[in-house]
Amino acid sequence: MNKTISIDGKTIPFKTGQTIIEAATAAGVYIPHLCHNPDYKPHGSCKLCTVKINGRNCSACTFPATEGQEILNKTPELENDRRKITQMLFVEGNHFCPSCEQSGNCQLQGLGYYLSMKDNHFPHFFANRELDASHPELLIDHNRCIFCNLCVRASQQSDGKNVFVISGRGINKRLTVNSTTGKLKDSNISVDDCAAQICPTGAILKKRTAYAVPIGQRLYDTKKIDEIALEQENKE
Amino acid sequence: MSDKIRIATTSLAGCFGCHMSFLDIDERLLKLAALVEFDRSPITDIEHCTNCDIGLIEGGVCNSENVHVLREFRKNCKLLVAVGACSINGGLPAMRNHISVEDCLNESYIDGIGVENPQIPNDPELPLLLDKVYPIHEIVKVDYYLPGCPPSADVFWAFLTDVIEGREPNLPYELLHYD
């Protein structure tokens, strides 16, 4: 007999070893996320995939599915929590969408739209973050980094390199480049690396490719992130 | 006083792009004019607002005059609306926020490329710059937000028709943009 869990009353089969988000994605149920990518080990840091499992809040990307779990996902309470988390991500960095090359194709922005986020609610940090434009083909704008760890994991797990690391704690947390100068130009990253392409925001960008797609035809202009994520992640 | 809904609008640290976008409702302006009356606004040149139903604020708060105008709007408008990216998060003017006001002024009026007769303007008529550009919700209570840079004409139309017809405003997915 198939083992199943229940998400918002819907019965969903799972295989032993699958996390809740993996089982949900395979069954066509979207759980919002930013730091999760099915190609990499879960990190559990963005907390957007928080679901209520048998009455307790847990991260769906790290929590293993087990027989009979009663899971709440798309409830007003959880969507409200997710909107607050997204607002905190926006005020902690400097996310000025109108001047960002990634606008329209940005997962953070797409999630804001999905959650009907109209304002940032909290007082803004207006943090002073650096820009690293040293590499001839790639750019790091630390203003937009949300510390999802995806570039760190992609570099280690896909590219067989170790270009990035998250250093520091709390408000001093920073994406750091493993090179003698700390500059991207002195690292061994290549423009074709998975790490160079995986950023869910506009923190790591390929130079000279910006604004190629007109407004109205970009990824999240007309299609919601739930539909796009399910399509992409089930293809992989 | 007529029964028409009274709207006031202003641009603080904005570029008037949101006002231009508002005017992009084109011929719907005629329908709107039948239902609403404009109080203080760049459209009317009325200097102070009184007893308005809706206040539309474009731009963030960058100087002392912006604070006074914003407080006047809050005091006189039942529904205060942050219109556009700058009023919501400070927008592009807020990109000066990690630079000191002194450095900003020096760069613009003293050391900048092509500056002639360098001097920092200090006429008493000029409002003083604040240390930062603030989103308006950090200064007064805001009732509703219309994101976008600018919000499209359809956003203005959807919001105003919802309010005028007594519905809670609701922006559908295709009208929600941060750019």
What tens digit of pLDDT does each residue of A183-228 get? 999 999 999 999 999 999 999 999 999 999 999 999 999 899 999 9
The domains of chain B are located at 5-95+131-175
Owning domain of residue A46: 4-74
A121 touches chain B (CB under 8 A): yes
Strand partners, A206: A138
**Cα dist. B163→A1, B29, B35, B116 in Å?**
54, 16, 11, 50
Residue of chain A minimizing CA distance to B138: A123
What tens digit of pLDDT does each residue of A113-152 get? 999 999 999 999 999 999 999 999 999 999 999 999 999 9
Distance from CA of A83 to the nearest CA of B (A): 15
Count of the separate structural domains present in chain A: 2
Question: Which residues from chain A sit within 8 angstroms of residue B94, using beta carbons?
Answer: 96, 124, 126
Please give the pLDDT value at position B78: 97
A29 pLDDT more than 60: yes
Q: Is residue A146 part of a domain?
A: yes
A119·B95 Cβ contact <8 A:
no
Question: Which residues from chain B sit within 8 angstroms of residue A224, using beta carbons?
Answer: 173
Q: What percent of chain B has pLDDT over 90?
A: 97
**pLDDT band per the 50, 70, 90 thresholds, residue B179:** very high
Q: Which of B146, B149, B176 sits opposite A98 (nearest CB)?
A: B149
CATH number at residue A160: 3.30.70.20
Q: Which of B82, B95, B178 sits opposite A97 (nearest CB)?
A: B178
Do A100 and A165 belong together in one domain? yes
Using the 3D structure, point to which of A46, A74, A102 is the last residue of a domain. A74
What tens digit of pLDDT does each residue of B75-129 get? 999 999 999 999 999 999 999 999 999 999 999 999 999 999 999 999 999 999 9
Do A8 and A64 belong together in one domain? yes
- A25 close to A230: Cβ distance less than 8 angstroms: yes
Q: Please enumerate in sequence order all residues whose Cβ is within 8 A of that of A135, keeping only pairs 6 or more positions apart, or say none.
A: A183, A184, A185, A187, A189, A207
A126·B90 Cβ contact <8 A:
yes
A100 touches chain B (CB under 8 A): yes
Do A65 and A161 belong together in one domain? no
A111 touches chain B (CB under 8 A): no
Q: Is residue A132 part of a domain?
A: yes
Question: Which residues from chain A sit within 8 angstroms of residue B82, using beta carbons?
Answer: 119
Q: Is residue A87 part of a domain?
A: no
Instruction: Tell me the pLDDT of chain A averaged across its residues.
Output: 96
Question: Which residues from chain B sit within 8 angstroms of residue A103, using beta carbons?
Answer: 178-179
Do A120 and A18 belong together in one domain? no
CATH number at residue A70: 3.10.20.740
A105 touches chain B (CB under 8 A): no
Q: Which of A74, A67, A1 is nearest to A32 (CA)?
A: A74
B147·A119 Cβ contact <8 A:
yes
Query: Encoding tokens for residue A225?
Result: 């992130």
A97·B174 Cβ contact <8 A:
no
The span from the CA of B81 to the CA of A157, in Å, is: 47
Q: What length is written for chain B?
A: 179
What tens digit of pLDDT does each residue of B37-54 get? 999 999 898 999 999 999
Sign of CA dihedral B120, B126, B131, B136: negative
Q: Can you tell me whether residue B52 is helix, strand or coil?
A: strand
Residue of chain B minimizing CA distance to A129: B98
**pLDDT band per the 50, 70, 90 thresholds, residue A170:** confident
Helices (H), chain B: 17-23, 28-35, 64-76, 85-89, 101-105, 153-164
**B5-95+131-175: CATH number:** 3.40.50.700
Q: Is residue A116 part of a domain?
A: yes
**pLDDT band per the 50, 70, 90 thresholds, residue B67:** very high
Do A218 and A101 belong together in one domain? yes
User: Cα angle at A87 between B17 and B84, to 5 degrees?
Assistant: 10
Question: Which residues from chain A sit within 8 angstroms of residue B92, using beta carbons?
Answer: 96, 98-99
Q: Is residue A236 part of a domain?
A: no
Please give the pLDDT value at position A81: 98
Do A210 and A109 belong together in one domain? yes
Model ipTM over 0.90: yes
Amino acid at B111: D
Please give the pLDDT value at position A236: 65
